[in-house]
Amino acid sequence: MNTPATGPHPARYPGAAAGEPTLDGWQEAPHNRWAFAHLSEMVPTAAVSRRDPATPAEPVVRLDALAAQLPDLERRLEETYTDALLVLRGSEVLAEYYRPGFAPDDRHLLMSVSKSLCGTVVGALVDDGRIDPARPVTHYVPELGGSAYDGPTVQQVLDMQVAIDYNEDYVDPASEVQTHDRSAGWRSRRDGDPADTYAFLATLRGSGRTGEFQYCSANTDVLAWIVERVTGMRYAEALSTHLWAKLDADLDATITVDTAGFGFANGGVSCTARDLARVGRMMLDGGIAPGGRVVSGDWVRSVLSGGSREAMTDKDFTGAFPGGSYTRQWWCTGNERGNVSGIGIHGQNLWLDPPTDSVIVKLSSWPDPDTEHWHRLQQAVLLDISHALDTL
Amino acid sequence: MNTPATGPHPARYPGAAAGEPTLDGWQEAPHNRWAFAHLSEMVPTAAVSRRDPATPAEPVVRLDALAAQLPDLERRLEETYTDALLVLRGSEVLAEYYRPGFAPDDRHLLMSVSKSLCGTVVGALVDDGRIDPARPVTHYVPELGGSAYDGPTVQQVLDMQVAIDYNEDYVDPASEVQTHDRSAGWRSRRDGDPADTYAFLATLRGSGRTGEFQYCSANTDVLAWIVERVTGMRYAEALSTHLWAKLDADLDATITVDTAGFGFANGGVSCTARDLARVGRMMLDGGIAPGGRVVSGDWVRSVLSGGSREAMTDKDFTGAFPGGSYTRQWWCTGNERGNVSGIGIHGQNLWLDPPTDSVIVKLSSWPDPDTEHWHRLQQAVLLDISHALDTL
């Protein structure tokens, strides 16, 4: 496999050379000054809890407000492998659930709900005039010339309307999805793998067709690359600057990083349920967070009003939501409530219910990544809670 | 290189098979329920700060209390690449310093100060009667039969009085120190490397001699293995249960983990300066922390009164401290003040000054790991502060 040269990319610390420090060099000066304070970026780390692990987090079950209308909600949450559920109406936490062993201040992997966060950062930079969504991707990232991204605009990538040869077969090591994971450090590397996620993205090929929905995680990483290019910041830093630092979040989020230090924007963010709900709150507040405006009201309205129904090709999604569409890294149901959601495999949802000004966060660990069975159960929980909120 | 079978080792979650989940399996059920909440153990992660990264931590310089006697202290801290300094007398923070960009709630790698934490956990288990320091190591870890640890007692390992063939040449990939790092995930793996730190430890050979000081990081990892064996907990969990959870710490500590999930006890702990000072406070309080007794008064007295001077072979240390010794994973100066310290390469110190009931934490990033030049400057700072405390 060819592994194209890309970059330069934002430095890990001011003055660091591209790609430095490596796993074999972080202990040496001058890298050690940065690395000793950022070791989790180089080496996997476990928490040494300041709470006694012999008394693990008790389950938190505060579902009383919904109990009259949804008496079997707790059973349904257990059935759908829920780790955390949070229902936020306005600024009031109406209901909350954490399974035994998962505490309110534990972080949970968002999988592709991470994409909606990246879309929001792109939105902020569009508002600032730093990204023009009508421009071709290669205007910002010329290294993608000759790839599937040579031609499509930023908006088409935001809306996942780019035809890409991307095999989603998780069992085939030659598939793009597995190579993507390995390039990002989510699986063990193999000989011949691209050096990092940037190099992987540059290997992708496509038909050049645009305008039809094709869900592809690589699109989000391309957006993150554009974010880095126009801000000069690492994606993790841009995500903080343009979103996380404005939320009045309880805790830092985390994002997995590859050997180049590039954050895995399409699926690698972990945070608490409460902090994720703050992202939804900002959207329902027209783009305004406690720390200031994140995105324009226009951007939020574009998300909440949905994308192109004609472009939508996902039959599973339109089977559940006939008016469904996808825009700006959000799934838009097109139902009468106008529900919009960030969605991640294995049961992650950041669900917006505009009629009741409510956010529903559900973080789960379904045994299957993406089957119709689990989606149906999960959607029913989210819709039933939304309807219950009408009369509360 | 032979890579002996070891184990079973404590499971990552109840019911997990040995070594599970792997980097290639964490996304699958049933592992995903654990992994989605512990992703930093599998994949390197960066923080997405809840503070705006464009306004990095201002330097904190509160050295006034010491300024009259040490007017050039700030310059000396800068000269010795100090990231954080904290002087705690009784329960009062007398002085504190954080370099620009390093915040009071940032964690810093402790390097071998981590060893003193592990020694403390062993002490707690000795007090509980779960570890008998007079027993041979192989009583607890039979997998070490035939290795350098076949014969020595736990006490000899605690005091680093075991002769081991352990080449400290950092440039030679065949050296034990490099293989140790690679087994622990601190450097890139090479073909033929031991599967994990446990397997590496079992490959070590020695002369069988005991009773003479030989500093060797492997000893601490053997202690952590014993801790796991007698508690049934992963080392990270035991460190929490027996130390961290009793400190009333501000934040969780972190510890790097290898592919088996084994914490790197000899050098992989990161924490804040303030939380590390709490460990010193507990020692000066005779083993008692806010959350209860950590180790017995006898254990603390054994540390503070020092180890065998006859056994001490480190000429650099006795050059600086003629009465110097090493016991229970602490360096004991044997000076008139009775200073005792956890010491890590690149300038990490958890320094106890019993006459003034004070703890001095200094976390640094010297450009060299372990040279006489830096040790001399660092020791002078620590001693000068200790003396200054006499008249404050």
pLDDT at site B1: 46
Q: Is B117-220 assigned to CATH 1.20.58.710? A: yes
Whether B363 contacts chain A with CB within 8 A: yes
Contact: A43, B44; criterion CB under 8 Å: yes
Return d(Cα B178, Cα B184) in angstroms, integer: 10
Q: Where are the domains of chain A?
A: 60-115+233-390, 117-220
In the block, residue with structure tokens 């983990």: B257
Interface predicted TM-score of the whole assembly (ipTM), two decimals: 0.94
pLDDT number for residue B89:
97
| DSSP H stretches of helix in chain A | 31-35, 64-67, 73-79, 113-127, 137-140, 154-158, 176-184, 197-203, 218-231, 235-242, 273-284, 297-304, 315-320, 372-390
Instruction: Report d(CA A347, CA A215) in Å as an integer.
Output: 17
Rounded to 10 deg, the angle between the A273-284 and A297-304 helix axes is: 100
Q: What is the pLDDT of residues A233-281, one digit of tens each?
A: 999 999 999 999 999 999 999 999 999 999 999 999 999 999 999 999 9
| Residue of A40, A112, A147, A358 with catalytic role | A112
Minimal Cβ distance to B33: which of A49, A81, A269: A81
CA atoms of B79 and B86, how far apart (whole Å): 17
A102 and chain B in contact, CB less than 8 A: yes
User: Do B185 and B267 meet the contact criterion of CB atoms below 8 Å apart?
Assistant: no
Residue of B nearest to A54 (CA): B241
Q: Select the residue from B12, B28, B48 to test the A interface by mutation, using most A Cβ atoms within 10 A.
A: B48
Please, what is the average pLDDT of chain A?
A: 96
- How far is CA B132 from its chain centroid? 22
Contacts (Cβ under 8 Å, ≥6 apart) of B264:
B114, B184, B185, B186, B197, B221, B255, B256, B257, B258
**Strand partners of residue B342:** B350
C-alpha distance from B34 to closest chain A C-alpha (Å): 9
Q: Which among A111, A120, A104 has a CA at the least distance from the CA of A273?
A: A104
pLDDT the model gives residue B3: 61
pLDDT in tens, A146-200: 999 999 999 999 999 999 999 988 788 899 999 999 999 999 999 999 999 999 9
Asked if A83 is an interface residue toward chain B (Cβ–Cβ < 8 A), one would say yes
- Chain A contact set for B187 (CB, 8 A): 23-24
User: CB A41 to CB B42 under 8 A?
Assistant: no
pLDDT at A319: 96
Under DSSP, is residue B88 helix (H, G, I), strand (E, B) or coil?
strand
Q: Rounded to a whole number, what is the distance in Å from the CA of B58 to chain A's nearest CA? A: 16
State how far the Cα of B19 lies from the Cα of A44, in Å rounded to an integer: 15
Q: Average the pLDDT over each of A17-26, A69-78, B320-329 and give the range with the smallest value.
A: A17-26
Nearest Cα neighbor of A203 from A234, A187, A182 is A182
Token pair of B58, please? 């201002």
Which 121-150 residues of chain A touch chain B by CB within 8 A? Answer: none
Query: Within chain A, how many helices (H) and strands (E) appear?
Result: 14, 14
Please report the beta strands in B295-372, taking only residues with DSSP state E, as ranges in sequence order: 325-327, 330-332, 340-344, 348-353, 358-364
Q: How far apart are CA B205 and CA B149, in angstroms?
A: 8
Which residue type occupies A132?
D
How far apart are the CA of B336 and the nearest CA of chain A, in angstroms? 33
Active site annotation includes B217: no
Give the Cα separation of B139 and A104 in Å (integer).
41
Per-residue confidence (pLDDT) for residue A189, from 0 to 100: 94
Res A1 pLDDT > 60: no
Instruction: Report the C-alpha gap between A56 and A282 in whole angstroms.
Output: 32
With a threshold of 0.80, does the pTM exceed it?
A: yes
The answer to whether residues B386 and B339 touch, using CB atoms and an 8 Å cutoff, is: yes
B225 min Cα distance to partner chain A (Å): 16
**Cα-based torsion angle of the residue sequence A73, A77, A79, A82 in order, rounded to the nearest 10 degrees:** 180
Backbone φ and ψ of A242, nearest 5°: -95, -10
Helix (H) or strand (E) holding B45: strand B45-48
Tokens 């059935």 map to which residue? Answer: A79
Is residue A92 scored above 80 in pLDDT?
A: yes
- Residue numbers in B near A32 (CB within 8 A): 346, 365, 367
Distance from CA of B253 to the nearest CA of A (A): 5
Measured CA to CA, the distance from residue A338 to residue A297 in angstroms comes to 16
Per CB-CB distance under 8 Å, the chain A contacts of B249 are 50
Q: How far apart are CA B44 and CA B63, in angstroms?
A: 36
CATH number of A60-115+233-390: 3.40.710.10
3-state secondary structure of B371: coil
The verdict on a CB contact (< 8 Å) between B53 and A245 is: yes
Length of chain B: 392
From chain A, the residues in CB contact with B346 under 8 A are 32, 36
| Chain A residue with Cα closest to B51 | A245
Residue among A46, A107, A367 at smallest CA distance from B260: A46
Residue numbers in A near B228 (CB within 8 A): none
In chain A, which residues have their Cβ closer than 8 Å to the Cβ of B39?
109, 254, 256, 268, 270
Distance of residue B173 Cα from the nearest chain A Cα, in angstroms = 11
Q: State how far the alpha carbon of B31 is from the alpha carbons of A369, B23, B212, in Å.
A: 13, 11, 46
Residue A3 has a pLDDT of 61
Q: Which of B91, B112, B175, B302 is catalytic?
A: B112
The low-confidence residues of chain B, meaning pLDDT below 70, are: 1-4, 56
Q: How far apart are CA B347 and CA B110, in angstroms?
A: 9
Q: Which of B49, B83, B254 sits opposite A240 (nearest CB)?
A: B49
Same-fold call for B60-115+233-390 versus B117-220: no
Q: What is the pLDDT of residues A351-381, one digit of tens each?
A: 999 999 999 999 999 999 999 999 999 999 9
Please choose, from the candidates B310, B287, B308, B307, the residue with its C-alpha nearest in 3D space to the C-alpha of residue B299. Answer: B287
Tell me, what's the pLDDT at A322?
98
A interface test, pick of B40, B45, B276, B345 with most A CB neighbours within 10 Å:
B45
Mutate to test the interface with A, among B9, B12, B36, B257 (most CBs of A within 10 A): B36
